[in-house]
Structure 1
Amino acid sequence: MMDVNIIGGGVIGLSIAYELAKQGLQVAVFDRQQFGQEASWAGAGMLPPAKLECATTPGGQLRAASQPLWPDWSRRLQEESGIDNGYLNCGGLHVALSEDVTDWQ
């Protein structure tokens, strides 16, 4: 019997499964194709840059709050698994399309 079933075997679903399993939970991940072949594949595995001050939705706020955690988490995952996950912090470019957007820059 599983403690947690996760639908979606992309970077987010697999990351959640990994962390829950480390805490001793029995986890199953379901995906209609191979893991990492849907949204993660289409998004090229990109974690878009985010600023908490500019996040206007709950999803945007979660993304912005979690972004600083990725470098350390990626390093730990690579050390524990021996697999290079290809994480690279290379920044991003935000084009301001209106003056109010430039206020936070």
Structure 2
Amino acid sequence: MITALDDNGTVVSWIQRTSQGSGPHTQKLADGKTIAKVSKLGPQRHKATFSLDGRVIGSVEAPAGGTPYGVTRFGGLWVVLDIDGGIASYVGRPIPTRA
């Protein structure tokens, strides 16, 4: 089970049987449109760069020696990057931002 908390205090969770891929790789995420390109930065340290329609929309790192994962979201798309480069993603309802 993956559970995440956003900056508005909203919790989202989902069951993920396994992370997709590991190590450096490229994959399509749960929304079927966003692409994650995972690169290795060092031992147990990876970075994922996300693109949509050919343009980069963000990135996240999973560093060794600290939190063993990185998490981010784009609207309703949540993404978790493990230190081994595995990706888990989930599409929930978009969370409105505060004005």
TM-score, normalized by length of structure 2? Answer: 0.28
TM-score, normalized by length of structure 1? Answer: 0.27
Bigger strand share: 2
Bigger helix share: 1
Larger relative CO (CA 8 A, sep 6+): 1 or 2?
A: 2
